[in-house]
Amino acid sequence: MPKQQTVLLVGGTGRTGARVLQQLLGRGIAVRAIVRSGRKLPPDVAGNPDLTVIEASLLSLRDEDLRQHLRGCDAVISCLGHVLGFKGIFGPPRDLVTRATTRLTRGVEALRPPTPVKFILMSSVSVNRPGGLDTRRGSFEKAFLWTLCRVLPPAGDNQRAANVLLEQVGPNNAFVQWVVVRPDSLREGDVSEYTLHESLVNGLFAPGSTNMANVAHFMCELATDPRTWSDWKSRLPVIVNARAGSATAASPRGTRA
């Protein structure tokens, strides 16, 4: 029998993270979820034998405890985000996603796994690819984003977390491989047709839509499908809902457009 895959999930009580959790369990994946409160998990996952809930504060877990939770995992998925509201946006920890990304990737590196662990980070279209590769972004939008990153802690945090993967972990790490998933404006709704893009599709001032269920679906595909992983590893794919009737909307899965 093939070995059951194991994923460590952080942010599993959030809007997108809960969907990732449900879809992973639906695929028969074993999930270890580090959460602040197990009571905030979706009720339908309670008692699932494939789910291990670890109630802890991710940023203050001892290194050896975090390594213990990471040991044997094939993938780590982060759906962390700053809780909407003044305290969540401007209060500590302002560098939640960056610190979590650093801790989790360093924890994996310390374990020196025989095959690289996949690290999948939920990010945003406000995050830039390095070297000005997101050519769709005009100079006004770049200046606006630059300001946003300095004024709004979550925006800067998301960019710095991506930079940890791009610059510190890098593309040739023997122990950690990564993908930064960039959805547009998050929406409710079921899994539907979606498209995947190397670069931006919409401007910041005319945003597109991405169902949270589609983000979860793509993250699960990354964790479980080797072809999807090899297509996108070390990249920052943009995911958007397919427009009805578009040429790329015919596939039952995410389509590379």
Ligand X SMILES: NC(=O)c1ccc[n+]([C@@H]2O[C@H](COP(=O)([O-])OP(=O)(O)OC[C@H]3O[C@@H](n4cnc5c(N)ncnc54)[C@H](OP(=O)(O)O)[C@@H]3O)[C@@H](O)[C@H]2O)c1
Q: Is 183 in the site for ligand X (CB under 6 A)?
A: yes
What x-and-dash track marks residues 11-50 binding ligand X by CB under 6 A? x-xxxxx------------------xx--x----------
Q: For residue 230, which phi and psi values (nearest 5 degrees)? A: -70, -25
Tokens of 8: 């460590």
> By C-beta, is 100 or 175 nearer to ligand X?
100
CB 81 within 8 A of CB 154: yes
Q: Is 80 in the site for ligand X (CB under 6 A)?
A: yes
Among the listed residues 153, 154, 208, 237, the single contact to ligand X using CB under 6 A: 154
Q: Is 98 in the site for ligand X (CB under 6 A)?
A: no
User: What is the SS3 string spanning 52-112?
Assistant: EEEECCHHHCCHHHHHHHHCCCCEEEECCCCCCCHHHHHCCCCCHHHHHHHHHHHHHHHHC
Segment interacting with ligand X, rule: CB under 6 A, options 62-70, 76-84, 193-201, 241-249: 76-84
The Cα–Cα gap between 253 and 191 comes to 9
> By C-beta, is 4 or 185 nearer to ligand X?
185
Q: For residue 72, which phi and psi values (nearest 5 degrees)? A: 85, 0
The Cα–Cα gap between 5 and 160 comes to 29
Q: Is 87 in the site for ligand X (CB under 6 A)?
A: no
Say whether the peptide bond before residue 237 is cis (omega within 30 degrees of 0): no
Q: Is 93 in the site for ligand X (CB under 6 A)?
A: yes
CB of 143 to ligand X, least distance (A): 21
> By C-beta, is 42 or 113 nearer to ligand X?
42
> By C-beta, is 147 or 185 nearer to ligand X?
185
Q: Is 235 in the site for ligand X (CB under 6 A)?
A: no
Residue with tokens 């993908």: 179
Tokens of 68: 């213990």
What x-and-dash track marks residues 113-132 binding ligand X by CB under 6 A? ---------x-x--------
Q: Is 150 in the site for ligand X (CB under 6 A)?
A: no
Residue nearest to ligand X (CB): 14
Tokens of 133: 């590769």
How many of the other CB atoms lie within 10 Å of CB of 33? 26
Binding residue count for ligand X, defined by CB under 6 A? 24
Q: Is 81 in the site for ligand X (CB under 6 A)?
A: yes
> By C-beta, is 121 or 175 nearer to ligand X?
121
Q: Packing angle between helix 212-224 and helix 15-26, nearest 10 degrees? A: 50
Q: Which residues bind ligand X (CB under 6 A)?
A: 11, 13-17, 36-37, 40, 58, 79-81, 83, 93, 96-97, 122, 124, 154, 158, 183, 185-186
